[in-house]
Amino acid sequence: MKPLGPIPSGFGSMDGQLTIQGITASDLVARAGDTPCFVYSSRMLTERVAALRAAMPVRLAIHYAMKANPFAPVLAHMAALVNGIDIASAGELALAMTAGMDPAHISFAGPGKRERELEAAIRAGVTINLESEGECERAIAIGARLGMQPRLAVRVNPDFDLRGSGMRMGGGAKPFGIDQARVPDVVRRILASDAHWRGFHIFAGSQALDADAIIETQGKTLALAAELAEAVEQAPEHLNLGGGMGIPYFPGDVPVEIAKVGAALGERFASLPAILADTHFAMELGRWLVGEAGVYLTRIVDRKLSHGELYLVTDGGLHHQLAASGNFGTVIRRNYPVAIASRFDSAPAEVASVVGCLCTPLDRLADKAHLPVAEVGDLVAVFCAGAYGATASPADFLGHGKAAELLV
């Protein structure tokens, strides 16, 4: 038997079924049209942003990194709650503007921006987080060609990284950002051009659960921003502090203590270096904002024994939930939080592996989990499906098609 990850708070039950915003799993499937489907809770999204605002200093702007979940209704909901949206492609730019976000509050990061993407960003007036000196020159040249003023921030590759982060984005050689030692020259280059220098984007890692590590990194980030600004003798308008806050996926994971993070940031804001006194600060979050608000629902289509082991075979799988199958950036496979949604109140009574419908041994949603007895027709819920689910999975693999998505 292998343990399951912790089910996030905020879900309920009725008639023995899992409920999301008071709606049973079977009703949600009926609304989505069929299994498999992703269901996102607008209430949980709203409450999540509110909880973050309550914990953080009023001065801190909240940005949504839409790569976590670009489903149009989710994006529109988030656009109304946050202060800005961070995009990673021209495709995301179009979606963010369609969702109603003012381009003045959109920023664009990503190491491989194409000429036409830079042009689209400059025309729209969004902030470009520069990833290299070459990209800086290209953006300035495109602005000159268009007769438009590019809004350019410098993405810094800091010498530090975020301790305990699931993905290191700083510290040593990286494809992301400009090495901190080179940053003053790049800012001077922007200041000497016709472009508008917006400030810095400093992102040292993501998916960390330890508040102390996040607090330490935010301190280093503020200090580095001040040091770089002093070097160019110019205050940055804007500082994107990155995100870094993860969510619990696996047994033993605990949520980030956001009150602690917010209190520490408040203290730092109260004693800022003079050069950052008028800077706008933003935190950029994707997974933390939307990850726990989504559930993937899939139906059991077969129940079989093989050499004494029980398999619950579902109509979903890694084509929608690559990360839950353990095949996206993980070295050791561990179980996500998974439950029998249609028997949510029942006690665990047998050990079963929940597998997907794909004809590959990689397609496993829960390995040797302790679950209530489930039959063909029962619904399985995979939690923490609100971020890096539908779009971060190979939906075309084996021709089963995309999962439905539903915001309630």
Site string for its own copies, 245-284 (x = CB under 8 A): ----------------------------------------
- Residue pair 204/160 in contact by the 8 Å Cβ criterion: yes
Residue choice 6, 8, 84, 110 for contact with its own copies (CB under 8 A): 110
Residue 169 beta carbon to its own copies: minimum distance, rounded to whole angstroms: 7
Residue 36 preceded by cis peptide, ω within 30 = yes
Of 370 and 400, the one with the shorter C-beta distance to its own copies is 400
Residue 156's nearest CA partner among 92, 207, 213, 199 is: 199
Of 6 and 244, the one with the shorter C-beta distance to its own copies is 244
Of 68 and 293, the one with the shorter C-beta distance to its own copies is 68
Location of structure tokens 């609100």: 386
Give the integer Cα–Cα distance in Å for 129 and 180: 14
Residue choice 49, 92, 243, 383 for contact with its own copies (CB under 8 A): 92
Residue 376 beta carbon to its own copies: minimum distance, rounded to whole angstroms: 7
Give the integer Cα–Cα distance in Å for 15 and 344: 9
Location of structure tokens 């597998």: 355
Give the CA angle between residues 384, 386, 390 to the nearest 5°: 110
| Tokens, residue 236 | 């940055």
Of 235 and 313, the one with the shorter C-beta distance to its own copies is 313
Of 233 and 396, the one with the shorter C-beta distance to its own copies is 396
Q: What SS3 state is found at 178?
A: strand
Phi and psi, residue 12, nearest 5°? -125, -170
Site string for its own copies, 152-191 (x = CB under 8 A): -----x---------xxx--xxxxx--x------------
**Which residues have a Cβ under 8 Å from the Cβ of 152 and sit 6 or more positions away?**
127, 128, 130, 136, 139, 140, 190, 195, 196, 197, 198
Residue 172 beta carbon to its own copies: minimum distance, rounded to whole angstroms: 6
Of 92 and 268, the one with the shorter C-beta distance to its own copies is 92
Residue 115 beta carbon to its own copies: minimum distance, rounded to whole angstroms: 8
Inter-axis angle of helices 42-55 and 258-270, nearest 10: 40
The piece of 21-29, 54-62, 261-269, 396-404 that touches its own copies (CB under 8 A) is 396-404
Consecutive H or E run containing 242 = none
The piece of 9-17, 132-140, 248-256, 342-350 that touches its own copies (CB under 8 A) is 132-140
Based on the number of CB atoms within 10 Å of its own CB, is 305 exposed (0-12), middle (13-18) or buried (19 or more)?
exposed
| Tokens, residue 156 | 């810094």
Binding to its own copies by residue 405, rule CB under 8 A? no
Name 407's bridge partners: 40
Residue 277 beta carbon to its own copies: minimum distance, rounded to whole angstroms: 31
Residue choice 73, 348, 391, 408 for contact with its own copies (CB under 8 A): 391
Of 269 and 311, the one with the shorter C-beta distance to its own copies is 311
* Contacts (CB under 8 A) with its own copies, residues 297-326: 301-304, 306-309, 311, 313-315, 317, 322
Of 41 and 180, the one with the shorter C-beta distance to its own copies is 180
* Contacts (CB under 8 A) with its own copies, residues 325-384: 327-329, 331, 353, 355-362, 376
Residue 152's nearest CA partner among 90, 200, 114 is: 200
Of 260 and 402, the one with the shorter C-beta distance to its own copies is 402
